[in-house]
Structure 1
């Protein structure tokens, strides 16, 4: 066995072989793949082989789209037929809400270039007379996908990998990883058959690998333990059944009719496809259990679980309802096997937390669909520094160290159950909640808070006194839901009086030490602030795109307080710590980083009356001038006392109004909350949630990380030139300048439908129907009384006044590019004195 390689891929399922193939295709000529058993012996062998293009995630849509196109090229390259039946995918809808879901998805698909058609019930019946359509509203049809033979496509990718120089070794199990500082020493053990089981032998080898990729599927928990990290990838049972031939279907095919597309009745929670004259039914039922939370037993190989027909009885009966001729078909075969899930249903793809040159590709619930695209984009990340699309939404570090095995199991069971639940863009799922709560949670709940979940934290989305749930489960909609009017009133309060927002979930890091200033000057794009001042700045990837957005507060010459998005705590911390090592050459000498997120709560107070509210509480030698522009100017920070609560106040407001962020000791939060509400009672203070805040920041054209800001665009493309100091050297600068301007971030006002706003997933067009960009954020503007959004377009279309079209609810609506910060472009409201 070869013992020195550039890249070692661990796992021989579809995902692992897809990665090995694409690393070789990217020019890496020293790649090895290890499989502990036989290729395809994990979940791959029993997968149904469906290739659904439908996905609400922009990154995952790109991955699936690439796979479908790539698989069609494999036979010509390798001579092996991957068994791709391009029959299409018919996703049916029983309700108007479901059709609205498909319309929102279709808008996302258009941004990727995924073809689709709309069918009426009559058109479905005309094409597929075996399908009952009298209770359907319609369907969306993808003509280019279908299903594939999982084993065949895996073997085709394996052959293609071998043809490109990849070494594939079977019956070798990884038993240890050790990072030497320059490469990985990977201890592997030869496995042997014994009494039908796979057992380790005494033969061991150490492989020296510059990079390691784990694609270990069902064994992800064992892999994580070997690496000393946590992972939420836990398997859930998935069962499907195969029927005996359906005489009506056989007759249909004998008559020369085409094969049915993959049929999906999302409201009935199943997929069905043809299989040798019969049908395969795959349900996504309730109460499917998580399995092997602490690792797969050694005795479990290409095995299955006992079938639980009672659990899928409702879905089976609904198949008979939808395809009445299937009622007389007997059961031919059944499968109940493990499929890996994550809490949000998306895979874990990217660098492992805290480790160098260790890449994860785990947690694939749709592994056959994702295998080719994951290999393509992960190979780009490894070979070129970043993928051409932003992969942050799939990053393994989107789940922090607070996550436990119990949490992963409960959320993965929920993710399985929710495969066919309506995926509202304002969806909130209840399992394992509440878990992380700020001290004021109960007070806000009593005030009607309807909570969303950010990095485990409960955060108010809006306030609806008297609503039946605190998990925001009853108001979901693809249009303006019941929550919309509450958000309107909250946004108006901020513009006209004052609003208080719980921003405790913000990620907060302390960077101190004699090297802190020099490090941060290299790490970020903007000039560092003076002591007592703040700056907005960006950390770049080595490829020159936006990795993280920070508000930096300089507390002393070598003491800084960094604030970033709450959803990305582990993601930001990992990059910051690794950057310190990069800058210092290892060890981090002279720079100390501390995550202080849980030490400090944050209230954001904003609105014309915010100064008057604080004036009632501040304790100062000269209280009358303590909050004036002279003593407390815009973009500055001060240590102040609000009655008995000492805190750091930062004069900045994400809403674009006069305001302060109040970073306070977590243990004093309830005291501060009570005093703020008392003082605000006479000044129109209103509690405000995240949805209104999101609308308000778009009126100011404030970019948000994860939407406008990401690893597929530079700060210059995002229009943030004022936060990039080109006179200094900083990480990623040369790469950023080499990229140039491929697209521009713009703000748009939209004359949309009266009952809906954009969600930030829609395609943008010119009048002649040419697709020219996509929206990244959307909502409603209380200032302009119409829909608002942000997005990226061709540079020549970024001029204010440019007329565009946006696709919403299957129709094109007028949109106009407006100047940045259309509300208060001079920033007068932020700088108002008092």
Structure 2
């Protein structure tokens, strides 16, 4: 066995073998893969091998697309048949809402270039007469995917890896990781068979590796303990059954090709052919999480007892959809662990707090994702960044507040939601409320309907208190939901009067010390603000794309307060701390402290916001405290509102006159009560995140995770004014080398009367796809739909006519000037 390698991959399932294969393919010569048992002995061996394109995530769709294309090339490369049956995938709909879901999904598929077709019930029946269709609305059909033999494709990738020089060692278990400051010392133990179990022997080795990748599947909790991390990847039971041959199917196959993989999403199952019979795979309610603290040593390629009672409803619905299956007996059954994460998406990327440690865990659709995950993770490791933005899959999207009980509850929910309608305005209820600001109960009493961001409860909108007849707060839609009229009224209130928003979930860090100023000047693209002032700025990846966005408040010459998106606190904090570690020797001592939970934030905005605050300000000359002379736009002041000391920032994400009121979180309820009292005389309205999202688009304010990400530079995002090219900063040369590949624009859209874009739609010019939306919504100021997105640079000029695809139709859209609402910022600078 080698004792030193460039990269060590831990885990020999489909994910691990793909990573090893792609690292070698990308040019790394010294790669080794370790498997504690046999290749494919984890979830890979009992996977059904389906390759569904369907996914609402832009990044995950790219990953699945790469896998499906890669698997078709493996036999030519390796000589091994990967067992790919390109039979297609028919996803049926029993309701108009389900068809709306498919049309929204198709928007993502269209932007990636995934082929699909629409089918009517009559077309389905004509092509596959064994399928009952009279109660269907239609279907979406993917002709280029299907199913694959998981063991065969894994072995093909393993052979491809060996052909490129990868060493694969079986029956070695990792028992310890130690970072020396320049490499990893990995202690491994030889595993041996004993009484049918796999047990450690006395033989141990130490392997040193520059990089380590963990792809340990169901053993992720053991990996987490060895690394001292929290990894919310815990398996959930998934069962599928195999029937005896169906005589009607056997007869059909004498003169016809295989059926596509059939999915009746409303019935919560998939079905495919298997040796003249059928495989039924349900995603039922009540499937339990297993092994929350680690897989027992006695559990190898084992299964759980089948629970037929739990899947009776799904089994009967299969008989309804395929009537010929009613008299067919059961031949085999499987009930095995499949790893999930709280949002159902895998964890791919650098481990929090660790150097050169990469995670590839939590793959609930591991066979579908394996090829693409290996490809894009290899890009991250070898090139420093992937060609697609991988932030939505980053392991740090779940912070250190996450616990085992939380992961169990959310992973069981994620499993159950595989076939539940994926509304873009969905808010899943499990493990909530958990992280609440002090004013949570007060907001709830006022009709707040909460969403969850990074575990925090945050008002999405304020609806009618109680349960008025005919209104359902839990009703979701792919069009304008019941909440829409309330969000529209909130947006109007900000534009015309005054509104109050809870922004406590913002991530907040303090950076201070003798080296803080020099470090931040190198770390970010914009000039640093003067003491008492504020700047918006960006930190870049090594590849020159946007890694994160910060609002920087300069509290003193060597003390800074950084505010960033609430969903990304662990992500931003890890990046910031690692950068400090790298540069502290050069710049001097720098202290970084996450103060997110110490500070609550209320944002007050609108033409009457100053008059509300004037009623609360305590000062020798209160009438002038908030004037432009004493408190200009983009400045910071420590003020007193009632009995609360407030770090007030003259900024407003809504684009109106306004302030962010950062306050000691333990005083939040007092401040809330005082603001409510002072605001009553001005008609102040409580406002949620959905209206705020619409308002920021009217100002063309880019948001991290939508317009801003690791696949575009700040210059491509149209943020040139926040990039100081006269100074040197991290990623500058790489950013300039990329040039302008696309351009971010704001569009006003004449869309359907009952719907707005969600930010996933394809953009067209002259019948050609030329870009995609990244955000969407309703504009109160313009009385029509609005969106932001990326197009070819030659189509970015204001006045350019485009089309946007919504619900299978093309609708008129026009590129506007940046900040179509109040482009001169007259309202936000208003004096008083």
- Report the TM-score, using the length of structure 2 for normalisation: 0.99
* Superposed CA offset, 1:719-745 (max 9, x none): 000000011111111110111100000
Tell me the SS of whatever aligns to 2:45. coil
SS for the counterpart of 1:632 is coil
Whether the aligned pair in 1 keeps the contact of 2:614 and 2:623 (CA below 8 Å) is yes
CA distance in 1: counterparts of 2:505 and 2:598, whole angstroms: 11
Q: Paired residue for 1:19?
A: 19
> 1:689: which partner in 2?
688
Q: Is the 8 A contact 2:13 2:42 kept in 1?
A: yes
Provide the rounded CA distance (Å) in 2 between the counterparts of 1:467 and 1:120: 41
For 2:745, the equivalent position in structure 1 comes to 746
Counterpart in the other structure of 2:805: 807
> 1:78-100 CA deviation, whole Å, 9 max, x = no partner?
00000000000000000000000
Establish whether residue 653 from structure 1 lines up as the match of residue 641 from structure 2. Answer: no
Please show how residues 41-52 of structure 1 align to structure 2 within 5 Å.
Answer: 41-52=41-52
Q: Which runs of structure 2 are paired with 1:315-354 in the superposition (5 Å)?
A: 315-354=314-353
Structure 2: distance between partners of 1:784 and 1:475: 27
* Alpha-carbon distance in 1 for matches of 2:696, 2:689: 10
Separation in 2, partners of 1:475, 1:267: 17
> 1:468 Cα deviation (Å)?
4.2
The equivalent residue for 1:477 is 477
Q: Structure 1, residues 590-630: CA drift from partner, whole Å, max 9, x if none?
A: 10001000001000000000000000000011111111000
| From 777, 783, 786, the counterpart of 1:785 | 783
1:813-833, CA deviations, whole angstroms, 9 ceiling, x for partnerless residues? 010000000000000001011
1:664-703 correspondence to structure 2 within 5 Å: 664-703=663-702
Identify the residue that residue 155 of structure 1 maps to in structure 2.
Answer: 155
| 1:91 counterpart = 2:78 | no
Q: Name 2:116's counterpart in structure 1.
A: 116
Partner residue, 2:461? 462
Paired residue secondary structure (2:148): coil
Other-structure match for 1:621: 620
Q: Per-residue CA shift, 1:633-663, capped at 9, x if unaligned?
A: 0000000000111110000000000000000
TM-aligned CA distance change 1:713 to 1:135, over 3 Å: same
After TM superposition, list the pairs within 5 Å mapping 1:194-343 onto structure 2: 194-254=194-254, 256-343=255-342
Give the C-alpha shift of residue 258 in structure 1.
Answer: 1.1
Alignment deviations for residues 567-611 of structure 1 (CA, whole Å, 9 cap, x no partner): 00100000000000111249x951000100000100000000000
Indicate the SS of the match to 1:683. coil
Distance 2:472 2:584 in 1: 46
**What is the CA-CA distance between 1:466 and the residue it aligns to?**
2.3
**1:428–1:472 contact (8 Å) kept in structure 2:** no
Note if contact 1:450-1:472 (Cα within 8 Å) is conserved in structure 2.
Answer: no
- Rounded to whole Å, the distance in 2 between the matches of 1:98 and 1:295 is 37
**8 Å Cα contact 2:473-2:483 kept in structure 1:** no
CA distance in structure 2 between the partners assigned to 1:468 and 1:252 by the alignment: 53
Counterpart-to-counterpart distance in 1, 2:288 and 2:830: 58
Q: Say whether the 8 Å CA contact 1:451–1:472 is kept in structure 2.
A: no
1:427–1:473 contact (8 Å) kept in structure 2: no
8 Å CA contact 2:472, 2:482 repeated in 1: no
Counterpart secondary structure, 1:831: coil
Determine if contact 2:473/2:482 at 8 Å carries over to the other structure. Answer: no
| 3-state SS, counterpart of residue 569 of structure 2 | helix
How far apart, in 2, do the equivalents of 1:368 and 1:474 lie? Answer: 34
1:383 equivalent in structure 2: 382
CA distance in 2, matches of 1:272, 1:329: 14
Q: What is the 5 A alignment of 1:707-722? A: 707-722=706-721
Distance 1:472 1:417 in 2: 22
TM-score between the two structures when normalised by the length of structure 1:
0.99
User: Tell me, what secondary structure is at the counterpart of 1:416?
Assistant: helix
Tell me how far apart the structure 1 counterparts of residues 437 and 474 of structure 2 sit (CA, whole Å). 23
1:65 has 2:65 as partner: yes
**Contact persistence 1:777–1:789 (CA under 8 A):** yes
Deviation (angstroms), 1:465: 2.0
Q: Distance in 1 between matches of 2:703 and 2:466?
A: 29
Which sections of structure 1, spanning at least 5 residues, go unmatched?
A: none
CA distance in 2, matches of 1:645, 1:475: 39
- Confirm or deny: 8 A CA contact 2:602 2:660 kept in the other structure: yes
Q: Aligned ranges for residues 510-529 of structure 1 at < 5 Å?
A: 510-529=510-529
Alignment of 1:597-616 (within 5 A): 597-616=596-615
Q: Does 2:636 match 1:637?
A: yes
1:428–1:473 Cα contact (<8 Å) kept: no
- Secondary structure (helix, strand or coil) at the match of 1:830 reads coil
Q: Distance in 2 between matches of 1:830 and 1:216?
A: 52
* Superposed CA RMSD: 1.0
* Contact preservation (8 Å) 2:645, 2:663: yes
Distance 1:716 1:708 in 2: 12
| Larger deviation, residues 768-777 vs 36-45 | 768-777
Please identify runs of 4+ aligned residues in structure 1 that moved more than 3 A.
Answer: none
Q: Paired residue for 1:552? A: 552
The 2-side partners of 1:327 and 1:745 are apart by 55
Q: What's the counterpart of residue 831 of structure 2?
A: 833
C-alpha contact (below 8 Å) 2:236/2:340 kept by paired residues = yes
Q: Which residue of 1 aligns with 2:729?
A: 730
**Pairs aligned (count):** 830
Per-residue deviation, 1:475: 2.9
Deviations 1:530-558 (A, max 9, x none): 00000000000111000010000000010
- Using the TM superposition, give the Cα deviation of residue 279 of structure 1 relative to its aligned residue in structure 2, in angstroms: 0.1
